[in-house]
Amino acid sequence: MTEAAVGRAEERCAVVGIGYVGLTLLCALGRGGLRSVGYDINAEKVEKAGRGEIPFEGADAELEELLREVVAKGMISTTADPAALSEATAVFYAVETPVDPFDNKPKYAALRAALNVTAPHLSPGVLIVIESTIAPGTMSKLVLPAIEHTRGWKVGVDFNLVHCPERVMPSRLVRNISTCDRVVGGVTPACAERALPIYRRITSGKLHPTSALAAEITKTAENAYRDVQIAFANELAMICEELGADVYEVRELVNSSPGRDVHLPGAGVGGHCIPKDPWLLCSSVTEFRPTLMPAARKINDGMPVHVAKLVAQALEAEGRSIPGAVVTLLGAAYLEDTDDVRNAPALTLARKLRDLGAEVRIVDPHVSALEEFPVCPDLSVAEGSDALAVVTGHTAFKNADLTKLGARMRTRILVDGRNVFSAEAASAAGFRFSGVGRGS
């Protein structure tokens, strides 16, 4: 084993990017007994995190508590100075990798900038880990050449390079990073071995050493798999709607057969990962043209528009037209009981309804605004509405009194995109009820 591949007796870690992934990782390192520094170009993030305050929305209470704990113990610090990384023996990169909305190709501006700014300050022998989700081939075609060009180093001799993609999600940030298995993809086998002792300090999950390429494919395939499964559930839901069946009953019946696992349909797929990771995976090939994953993306992206169609149909059945109707959306966040609005289906639905001429109101107890739409924290905003559309399955909505809610509305229409309410309860409260996958 080369000198660069050997673990250090006393690790000093650094995390580049202190967003959802980076801050959670930084805190996990500190909790694991590794003194670590978090670097970010955003001075406000640096200052808030350094004081033990969450610098973004969407964090769970467990992360807030852990951050305060590791800051109070002096296990982590934050900085906007890249020179502070010079003493680090291991540096983890957690910066965004979005896709271009026009051609669905990966945009690596953030990763390139992070490497360009920090690489000159890294010390020989350092372990470099890319935690960001990236398209297959990025480690060999972008990351490795960037380090070699900037420093003139040879991988496995002067530094170690690993791709260990994150597996965190809002509302389960600390839980996931502490318990999930991790895929540790080394550019060389020795590089992967170098990273294992650190990850054993972070997670109780199993570690899977492999190649960097296999790790890249694995992470993007994880979310592409989920996207395809959700698309199947959504397509099944629309079939059930037309034929007059209940997709949730059908789903249970299908899943009673061994080896079947139909996912939940719904008003749309949001979040940072699932809407983009299938495109990252597909972007890596040039000869083969994937068709299944792009088709799944189209289905899932179309679900908010489908919900708008259900609203329009329900209004028409009640003798009202959508132009001039007041439609209140229940939910702005993409995930229940969080304030995470990244790629939220509610935004697509709100804009579609507005374009059709409706007055759109949004209620969410966890979110204050959704782009150009203000968001009310409680159901008082539904006063005088003609229709309610459930977009997010917040607990607060599940506990709502439909009878009292309906009494405040002009027209009692309820379109459920998340299976929050039963048709029986809605009917008892005087609502015309419809929903994704709920045939009449």
**Active site (catalytic) residues:** 219, 273
Per-residue CA distances from 25 to 81, 97, 133, 403 (Å)? 19, 17, 14, 46
Task: Kindly give, in sequence order, each residue whose CB lies less than 8 Å from that of residue 49, ignoring residues fewer than 6 positions away.
Answer: 18, 23, 26, 38, 40, 55, 67, 78
Q: For residue 36, give the nearest of 52, 20, 16, 8 by alpha carbon.
A: 16
Tokens 């801050």, located at residue: 23
Task: Kindly give, in sequence order, each residue whose CB lies less than 8 Å from that of residue 285, ignoring residues fewer than 6 positions away.
Answer: none
Token code pair at residue 232: 């199947």
Distance between CA atoms of residues 144 and 386, nearest Å: 57
Tokens 């495109």, located at residue: 279
Task: Point out which residues pair with 90 in neighbouring strands.
Answer: 13, 127
Per-residue CA distances from 363 to 26, 295, 310, 391, 412 (Å)? 34, 31, 19, 10, 17
Distance between CA atoms of residues 167 and 133, nearest Å: 9
3-state DSSP: the chain helix, strand, coil percent, rounded to 5? 45, 15, 40
User: What string of H, E and C letters represents the secondary structure of 316-375?
Assistant: HHCCCCCCCCEEEEECCCCCCCCCCCCCCHHHHHHHHHHHCCCEEEEECCCCCEECCEEC
Tokens 């150009």, located at residue: 372
Distance between CA atoms of residues 14 and 4, nearest Å: 17
Per-residue CA distances from 56 to 23, 59, 81, 358 (Å)? 10, 7, 20, 32
